[in-house]
Structure 1
Amino acid sequence: MSPLNTVHLQKIFNRLDKNGDGLVSADELGWLLDRIGLHAKRDELELLVGGKSLDYVDFLFFYETLIKESSVFDQETCEIEQEDNILERDLQKAFRVFDLDGDGFITSEELQIALSRLGLWDEHSGQDCRRMIDVYDANSDGLLDFEEFKDMMLVKSQS
């Protein structure tokens, strides 16, 4: 969303001020929000704007507050997306450690070999890689694809 200049904001304010009293009421603001698909009750709008109506200066302040909140939300969303992308790349690298033949699937044999190489497999412990895979094998094909591996690494149990 690109910020509007004061000329645009004055035009918007004047159009919203349907009765020409120099104020934008909660009802008039509600009309605008309804038109853009954001529905709010009058009492909610009054709480949001701090009264029953806004003069032009208060309208500008209200707009600036919305822009700042939108900017903070956009920045937080961008940071979350970046973290998700980093996590996705890290999981892809980890998947390749276990997918020894590079076919896009992890077999129980590949899992056992990779765990052994990492020093995490003890043949005497009684663990069975087949059962480990079965827990996260959503389509029951006996293999883990990347999405199933990701679920396993993010500790999501399959039903």
Structure 2
Amino acid sequence: MHEQLIDKQLDRWLTTPTSFDLVLSFWKRQQEQGNFRLLPLVARVLFSIPSSSAQIERDFGTAGRMVTSQRSSLAPCNVDMTTFLNCNRTYVDITQCPKLSPNTADERRPSNVMVQMVQDLDDEFGSLANLFSSKAMDLGLSDNENAP
């Protein structure tokens, strides 16, 4: 159904006399006038493809410099957001962002960065600290092993 509609709009566009306009201005005007519904959307997608990969290479370079062997456990969403903010400094003024309260920050934290512990396991891991003395922990021994 959409294919037939696009074919009709494409045929009408090919027969419509045009003037010398910027391509995106032409399609914006056509959409505003209601002459075409789908072709302006196609034109925006088609002309949004960068003609060079230089900017993309710079963006990936920024992300590559951020993820190093010392920072290999960064969450992907943090890398994405930091790269976005770094590459869009002219559009995003992070100094104007309001400080979130701890409750609001907890509510807005993505669920994929949260680790849920089963209460029974949490209790078991909490009791592990009681098995080791501070001296044994410094030496890397349990309380049952003897120091040299």
TM-score (norm 2): 0.29
Greater relative contact order structure (CA < 8 Å, 6+ sep): 1
TM-score (norm 1): 0.27
